[in-house]
Amino acid sequence: MIVTPKWLYDRLGEVIVLDARFDLFDEKKGKQAYHAEHLPGALFIDMAEEMADKRIQGAGRHPLPSPEDMAQMFAKKGISKDSKVVIYDDQNGGIAAARAWWMLEFLGNNNAAILDGGIQAWKNSGYPTTDEVKPPDEARFDPHVKEDWLVTAEQVKNKLGSAVVVDSRSRERYQGEQEPLDPKAGHIPGALNFPWGGVLGQDGNWKTTEELVQHFAALPRDREVIVYCGSGISACPNVLALKRAGFKQVTLYAGSWSDWSSRSGYPVETGHPSQ
């Protein structure tokens, strides 16, 4: 699920590389950075336009596209269900890259990985970048959707008390001390706060499997773990990390807090973490 710059450099031309750079507050910034420089052969994947479908109402700030639309989007980039894909962005841990990873896994492609440290680690290793863009040859993507990887707001509400709910946002947003983006401040009742950055070491790279097992040691392994964040993006590193740590029942609430906090009658909790 995580590969080093050297691993990728040794396999350029054998894998499809996706550049998922994205800025939540400037949605054009990632594409501009891609056109300035990117890894050789990399194709841009747009978080705002391709990994979200804002035509969908009432599903949060970055609604997940339909499986059919996702498969068609990946096919246009030359990706099939069996393609080997490496994704990077410019944030250590790669929240946008992890969203693309999650989408591929959800559709049945089990050959996707994230570049550890993103484009900065690549450049720090002395490997080349380019501004050349080569159009891909379209592929055929026949999705085999993993329905048990995704939950809706209604399902989360019905599972409160039985499933473990993990909030991936910052401690301040979780506690309701601040909320810069969504209608209400706070968290889903009973949720435990595991900010997504906790899956990274002090060097900004991914923790080892053993370290992730320790990081999530407080969570039971015999219950479903539902992961959410603000709008279904930064939850994805936690989903990946939980999978690496050996958790079997891990689901994404894609609408996340932006969906939950906009729904009438859905309970909200504030205050200090309960873990």
Q: Please count the residues of the chain.
A: 275
Q: Whole-angstrom Cα distance, residue 79 to residue 138? A: 8
H or E stretch at 150:
strand 150-151
Rg (CA), the chain: 18
User: Exactly one of 39, 52, 229, 245 is catalytic; which is it?
Assistant: 229
Known active-site residue 229: yes
CB atoms within 10 A of CB 21: 24
Q: Whole-angstrom Cα distance, residue 60 to residue 262? A: 8
**DSSP designation for 21:** -
Residues serving a catalytic function are 229
